Structure 1
Amino acid sequence: MVEIKNLYKRFGKNEVLKGISLTIKEGKVTAILGPNGSGKTTLIKSILGLVVPDMGSILVKGTNIKNNWIYRKYIGYVPQFAIFPENLTLNELINMLIDLRKDGYNPKIRKMFLEGFGLEKYLNKKLKTFSGGTKQKVNILIAFMFDPDIFILDEPTVGLDPVSSSFLKDRIFEEVKKGKLIILTSHIMSEVEEVADELIFLLEGKIYVRGTVREIIEKSGEKNLERAIAKLMEKGYHA
């Protein structure tokens, strides 16, 4: 479980998070959405410990993360943009991370993703030669192969071909069945509608709407999530 209590964050004069409180539970996919500047990136980085809030607390598996880095071993993170040491081969990168992290490494998961993404042929190639889509596959492989309890997936399907995207979604569904906690951000509303159980929509640093995907679509009176979110944003900007 991830519990966020009364979270505030300001950068200079810009107050980015304004008292965010929420509980994200295991066994489902929770999508955190919002327009640029809504605070969703700051919220995610706060959970990861990359941003230190000005006020409030974050608990992961019941433990306050302040001044505590050990909790990160429970998290598999797929950032939006993959940056790797370019002179390493994929195999060297994987082995380096196994040596550094050790805990949780699962060779069966590694094999599954190497095969599912067609990455075996890249194992002895340098990362600087990889396309953006291939780097994203590596990103995802690294996040999953340590079998974490919590996944934070930031635009995970960006750059993926349809086959790889479907493979990833199937793996997400499998992790949910295992009782894992998954946080997803995406600008692809059809993807959110397909994968997410719950949706948290941020606007100007506050939770503007929260509910299941079905609830939000039905309350909006629209036929799909993309139109429902568009209506939410329109109302929010004119509120």
Structure 2
Amino acid sequence: MQLGTIDYSYDEKRMILDKADLDLDPERLNVVIGLNGSGKSTLFDVVAGALPADGFHPPFERAEILYQLQQAPLPPMLKGKDLVRLILKSDRTEPFRSLWDTYVASLREQERSRLERLQDLRLGQMSAGEKRWLVIRTVCHLDRTLYIFDEPTVGLDPESRRFVVEAIGALLDRQKIVLLSTHILHEVAHLPCKMHFLHHGKIVYSGSYHAFVARYETDNPDIAFERFLSEQPTA
């Protein structure tokens, strides 16, 4: 799915996105990587329609796009089960009891144990990682066409990270389009994904994870990342 070129700047001095050409693969996770400050969050804001960019139109209506932000504000007094209710009832009319039972049944045994502990806990009492796990695990149950996740595994312990990555990967089985960013390249090594390397506002690489790593004769994606950057012209 070719989205076309995207240009965006906050002022006239510096282009945050400079003819960024994003081509989404509907059958693979689309993973945007790049240095901190490379414009990944701005790119997601534009694709989601949260930031207007001249000449660009979001690929779907806003109601068809789910955009998970890194720092979404949540009421600290809200309990875990109330948060699940708020999310699941946002686009479903079934009784919450039915939605809750379906949601719980979809979780792994370890996750059910965690949910049992968090459901009556206020968000202000949860760790950042617990809240992130709960939010992402729940929003994956919503029915959208495009899902955008901005660094969804930040602050998660290894077990929670695996659960979240699996839940996001399962969206492909439902024929959903997924766009996400990460700095932890190892976590997508065993998932079907297309990588998009954003550097100085441009997409300078689009292709498979394994092709990206193999070109540098290493199985360490961090080394491949570093070597790829060394080949890029300075701004």
Count of residue correspondences: 228
From the two aligned structures, give the one with the greater strand fraction: 1
- Shift of the 59–122 alpha-carbon distance from structure 1 to 2, 3 Å rule, reads same
Write the deviation string for residues 84-126 of structure 1: whole angstroms up to 9, x where unpaired: 1112212222323344433799546521348653112221221
When structure 1 is superposed on structure 2, of 166-175 and 105-114 the one drifting more is 105-114
In the other structure, the counterpart of 1:7 is: 6
Instruction: Quote the Cα distance in structure 2 between the aligned partners of 1:113 and 1:80.
Output: 23
Could you tell me whether the CA contact under 8 Å between 1:76 and 1:144 is conserved in 2?
Answer: no
Could you tell me whether the CA contact under 8 Å between 2:38 and 2:198 is conserved in 1?
Answer: yes
- Does residue 190 of structure 2 align to residue 197 of structure 1? no
Please give the secondary structure, in 1, of the residue aligned with 2:231. Answer: helix
Superposition misfits of 4+ residues, deviation over 6 angstroms: none
Work out which of the residue numbers 151, 158, 176 in structure 1 matches 2:154: 158
Please give the secondary structure, in 1, of the residue aligned with 2:37. Answer: coil
In the other structure, the counterpart of 1:83 is: 73
Instruction: Quote the Cα distance in structure 1 between the aligned partners of 2:64 and 2:166.
Output: 21
Write the deviation string for residues 160-206 of structure 1: whole angstroms up to 9, x where unpaired: 22222222233233322332211121111211323352111011111
Instruction: Quote the Cα distance in structure 2 between the aligned partners of 1:25 and 1:199.
Output: 10
Work out which of the residue numbers 115, 119, 133 in structure 2 matches 1:119: 115
Write the letter of the residue equivalent to 1:10. Answer: S
In the other structure, the counterpart of 2:171 is: 175
**TM-score, length-normalised on structure 1?**
0.83
In the other structure, the counterpart of 1:94 is: 84
- Does residue 156 of structure 2 align to residue 130 of structure 1? no
Write the letter of the residue equivalent to 1:89. Answer: K
Instruction: Quote the Cα distance in structure 1 between the aligned partners of 2:65 and 2:93.
Output: 12
Q: How much does 1:47 deviate?
A: 1.4
Please give the secondary structure, in 2, of the residue aligned with 1:59. Answer: coil
Instruction: Quote the Cα distance in structure 2 between the aligned partners of 1:58 and 1:220.
Output: 35
Write the letter of the residue equivalent to 2:193. Answer: D
Q: How much does 1:140 deviate?
A: 0.6
Instruction: Quote the Cα distance in structure 1 between the aligned partners of 2:170 and 2:58.
Output: 27
Please give the secondary structure, in 1, of the residue aligned with 2:57. Answer: strand
Work out which of the residue numbers 110, 121, 125 in structure 1 matches 2:103: 110
Q: CA RMSD in A?
A: 2.5
- Shift of the 216–88 alpha-carbon distance from structure 1 to 2, 3 Å rule, reads same
* Percent identity over paired residues: 26
- Does residue 48 of structure 2 align to residue 55 of structure 1? no
Instruction: Quote the Cα distance in structure 2 between the aligned partners of 1:73 and 1:102.
Output: 13
Could you tell me whether the CA contact under 8 Å between 2:137 and 2:167 is conserved in 1?
Answer: no
**TM-score, length-normalised on structure 2?**
0.84
Q: How much does 1:35 deviate?
A: 0.9
Instruction: Quote the Cα distance in structure 2 between the aligned partners of 1:50 and 1:103.
Output: 27
In the other structure, the counterpart of 1:73 is: 63
Write the letter of the residue equivalent to 1:162. Answer: P
When structure 1 is superposed on structure 2, of 178-187 and 75-84 the one drifting more is 75-84
Write the letter of the residue equivalent to 1:90. Answer: G
